[in-house]
Structure 1
Amino acid sequence: MKIKLGMFFAVLLVGLVACDDDFGIVGNGRPETETRSARYFNELSSSGSFNVYVSQGEERSIEITAESNLLPYIETDFDGDRLRIRTLGMHTLHETYPINIYLVTPDLEELVLSGSGRIETESFAADQFSVVVSGSGEIVTSVNADELDAVISGSGKIFLEGACGEAEMGISGSGIIDAYDLAAGDCKVVVSGSGSAWVNVEDNLDVRISGSGNVHYINFPYVTSSTSGSGQVINEN
């Protein structure tokens, strides 16, 4: 019986190691840069712990710097006008060097980030621009738009600069939207949870807070607000 139990645990251990080998891949410490084919896209979604940098330019391009054995597991594909960046299959990448992805595109209208990664962009102009963070990731972007939507679910962060006519912002969880450097004409902010927003509004500010989150504002808009909980609308002028 002892021999059989010993064999059982040995087989179990081998199975666990095999599963880890199948799904968890450790970087080999040798970073390389790979250029991939790119076509038209004006939307971007990134899922994982990647650092994505987006520049404005006429020639579209995708360049990835990562450890050589991880590169095959970083998937870039297109779904309509959206470029999707994600890990291939169910693999988990354990990088020892940061995974940096550099994109160039003339147009950009939407950024979607899930996980713990980061997206940083140069300035883009659009009629409508959308920013979405789900998880603990961070988006830093500059935009000039007629309409802007920014939404966080989780503990992530969004940093906005530029200008827009109308802005709608939503926070669910403990996330942060810092839009002091975004000059907005009208702005609506909805906070559910402990998250907070910082906004710069010229004309009208509409705030709805449920929970302990705060909305801080600068400039001198006309303010309407509804709060449920300990959250506050704070004039920072």
Structure 2
Amino acid sequence: MKTKKIFLISALLLLSATLMACSFPIIRVVKGSGTLTTETRSINNFNAIQLDGAGQLVITQGDTVALQIEAEDNILPYLKSTVEGGTLVLGFQDHFWQKSLLPTETITYSLVVTDLNAITFNGAGDMDMNLLDTDTLSITVNGAAQAHITDLTADSLIIQINGTGNVNISGEVNSQILGIDGAGTIQNGDLKTSQTVLTSNGLGIATVWVTDSLEVTFNGGGTLNYFGEPAIIQNINGAANITHLGSK
């Protein structure tokens, strides 16, 4: 009888271990080889970009869309570049949680766009772009991403930072709506605007250039620096600091 019980317990333990192995697959670690390679990807038309995770995004505006990815040869196969509902989604493939991908070199996405209306960063990506002419542009930063655009021309601009991201834009737009939840930074002192609306919840820092109207709401201890002589509406709940930097 004792032998029978021991056999039964052993069988149950073996079954339990098997079930646990099925439920929790073994995580495979893929460390970057250090050998960079470049791949050209075929993509459909899009007007929005979503970058998931880390990586350097270099964008230019042209006549046809194009994408080149530079990454380590054993990391590149796990990078996605799919167009979903007009949005180009870049980053690790959706099932990468089964592996631990550890790049040792920067992943660079070199992208040509015909038009661009929205960019979303989920993580710590970086973006650089020169010369963008579009109707509207929306930038959302979820995390610690850095976005830099030189010479933007648009009717309207919307920026939302959730976290500690940094956005730096120059050029000219008619209106901009800025939101900071956290400790993000918006450096738009070289972006000429007629109207600007800023809402900061936390410790956000913003520098803007406004000619006509500036509406500011602070919930916390944020900072606003502004150029121009706009009419100002202030809603301050906290210890915010507003500094006039003069005219441009």
* TM-score normalised to structure 1 length: 0.89
Is the CA contact 1:54–1:121 (under 8 Å) kept in the aligned structure 2?
yes
Q: Which of 181, 192, 195 is 1:186 aligned to?
A: 195
Partner amino acid, structure 1, of 2:170: E
1:112 aligns with 2:120: yes
Q: Which of 121, 133, 145 is the aligned partner of 2:141?
A: 133
Residue aligning to 1:148: 157
The gaps in structure 2 that reach 5 residues or longer are: 1-16
Out of 226, 232, 236, the residue aligned to residue 223 of structure 1 is 232
**Structure 1 stretches of at least 4 aligned residues deviating more than 4 Å after TM superposition:** none
Asked whether 1:28 is paired with 2:37, we answer no
Partner SS for 2:134: strand
**Deviation, structure 1 residue 222:** 1.1
- AA aligned to 1:231 is A
CA distance in 1 between partners of 2:221 and 2:40 (Å): 46
Aligned AA for 1:116?
A
Q: C-alpha separation between the residues in 2 aligned to 1:44 and 1:110?
A: 6
Matches within 5 A, 1:1-237: 19-21=26-28, 24-88=29-93, 89=95, 90=97, 91-142=99-150, 143-237=152-246
CA shift, 1:219, in A, is 1.3
202 and 92 in structure 1: CA distance in 2 versus 1, 3 angstrom threshold: farther
Q: Is the Cα contact below 8 Å between 1:25 and 1:70 reproduced in 2?
A: yes
Superposed CA deviations along residues 133-159 of structure 1, whole A, max 9, x for unmatched, are 110111112421111101100011111
Identity rate, percent = 28
Specify the SS of the correspondent of 1:220: coil
Alpha-carbon shift at residue 92 of structure 1 (Å) = 4.0
Relative to structure 1, the CA distance from residue 82 to residue 35 in structure 2 (aligned partners, 3 Å threshold; closer, same or farther) is same
SS in 2 for 1:29: coil
Q: Which moved more, 1:89-98 or 1:152-161?
A: 89-98
Q: Aligned AA for 1:69? A: N
* Counterpart Cα distance in 1 of 2:222 and 2:26: 42
Secondary structure of the 1:72 match is: helix
1:37-73 per-residue CA deviation (whole Å, 9 max, x = no partner) reads: 0221111110111101111111211100000000011
Q: 1:195 to 1:19 in 2, by over 3 A?
A: farther
Distance 1:166 1:104 in 2: 26
User: Residue 77 of structure 2 aligns to a residue in which SS?
Assistant: helix
- Indicate if the aligned counterparts of 1:113 and 1:139 stay in contact, CA closer than 8 A: no
**What TM-score, normalized to structure 2?**
0.85
Structure 1 residue runs without a partner (length 5+): 1-10
**What whole-Å deviation, never above 9, does each CA across 1:3-27 have from its counterpart, x for those lacking one?**
xxxxxxxx9xxx8xx8442xx4210
Instruction: Please give the root-mean-square deviation of Cα atoms over the aligned residues, in Å.
Output: 1.8
Q: Distance in 2 between matches of 1:54 and 1:92?
A: 28
Number of equivalenced pairs: 222
Judged with a 3 Å threshold, the aligned counterparts in structure 2 of structure 1 residues 35 and 160 are, in CA distance, closer, same or farther, namely same
Post-superposition offset of 1:93:
2.6
